[in-house]
Structure 1
Amino acid sequence: MDTSTTRAFAILAPVPENHLITGLDAIAQQLDATPPQTPPVVAYGSDAFEVFGKADQLRQQAPVEIYFYASHAKEQPLNHQVTWRATYIGHVHSRRGRYPGSALHRPVSTQNDAPTWAIFWRIQDLEKLDTPIPIANFRALEKKTNLTARFIPEGPMLVALPVKA
């Protein structure tokens, strides 16, 4: 398996800010487990199986950069920004709507999520960005123009790697 991150595309996904914050806690719990679960994985649920299926087809098992728009954040600037990033490593189908892997992979804030997700997508290396990236620096894959500064992603989407400001 190729361990170098693909440069062909990235993923842009809206995730509630509290799920991103508690995702860091899920990582810490995995590292504190006996035996430690390394590398730690965080799993988020989605019904966007087409998007993640296409991502898996394009990535050919290589990791993919994934950027997060923190939805439901306490503070939202007028021009929207990506404030988190991670490495997407793949998805698994749910089992009766629930995550089939270790409960440690799921952020505690997701426990009240409706148990009807089609898939769970898994990430590693979750981190808050020191410098946010404007949404306008992203372009939907196979589109010619960047997203507008006020664009709010309503679901995960494949994008070209962001243009540096």
Structure 2
Amino acid sequence: MTGISDFSILAPVPLEHLQSGRTIASATGFVAFGSRKWELFRKVDELRGGARVPVLIYPSHEDVAAKLSFVVSWLGWYVGCEESGNGKHSKAMSHRPPTTGQYTADNQGHWAVFWHVCDLQELPAGQRMPISAIQSVKGGWRKTAPPRGPELVATPSTLEVPL
């Protein structure tokens, strides 16, 4: 990696949280998704130097192993995170997808970090891509094991990401 434009975050997020999260991001400035990968987000914050980072999101499927055929169909911009000592977001549900409210663990002690995404949008059909087409970066995900959580990846040259 030579610069901030060289990497993106690839992440699985349940479709229901993407759909309800888009509304929250529009209304409040960002949506907060949960993860246990606090080390990854510390690294991203070091590398990004305050710049926004593209987030390539594929809808995850509960109880289904990640497959290389899963398709990145959502795009957003990572703008920061907050680590959680108690597994809750500091602003409670004000930045969380409303659909997370139906899962007790989602907002009560499960996540180590909440990563903030603004400008969340569904990609046009012509810009979608299978996760198998995305290149890893040193220290990122292994092609033999599709990610079950956020990972650093090379920003695809075919992706049109407005700054």
Interval of TM-score (by shorter of Structure 1 and Structure 2): 0.7 to 0.9
1:45-89 per-position Cα deviation (integer Å, ceiling 9, x unaligned): 11100111111111111110001110128xx99822101010000
Corresponding residue for residue 132 of structure 2: 136
Q: Secondary structure at the match of 1:103?
A: coil
Return 5+ residue gaps in structure 1 as ranges: 1-5, 31-36
Return 5+ residue gaps in structure 2 as ranges: none
Higher-helix-fraction structure: 2
Question: Once superposed, which parts of structure 1, at least 4 consecutive aligned residues long, lie more than 6 Å away?
Answer: none
Corresponding residue for residue 123 of structure 1: 117
| 1:80 alignment partner, one of 61, 64, 70 | 70
Residues 16-165 of structure 1 mapped to structure 2, 5 A cutoff: 16-28=14-26, 30=27, 37=28, 40-72=29-61, 79-101=69-91, 103-111=93-101, 112-114=103-105, 115-116=108-109, 117-131=111-125, 132-142=128-138, 147=143, 152-164=146-158
Cα gap change, 1:77 to 1:128, in 2 (>3 Å): farther
Q: How many residues align?
A: 148
Normalised by the size of structure 1, how large is the TM-score?
Answer: 0.78
Percent identity between matched residues is 37
> 8 Å contact 2:21–2:97 — kept in the other structure?
yes
Higher Cα radius of gyration: 1
Cα gap change, 1:77 to 1:119, in 2 (>3 Å): closer
RMSD of Structure 2 on Structure 1 (CA): 2.9
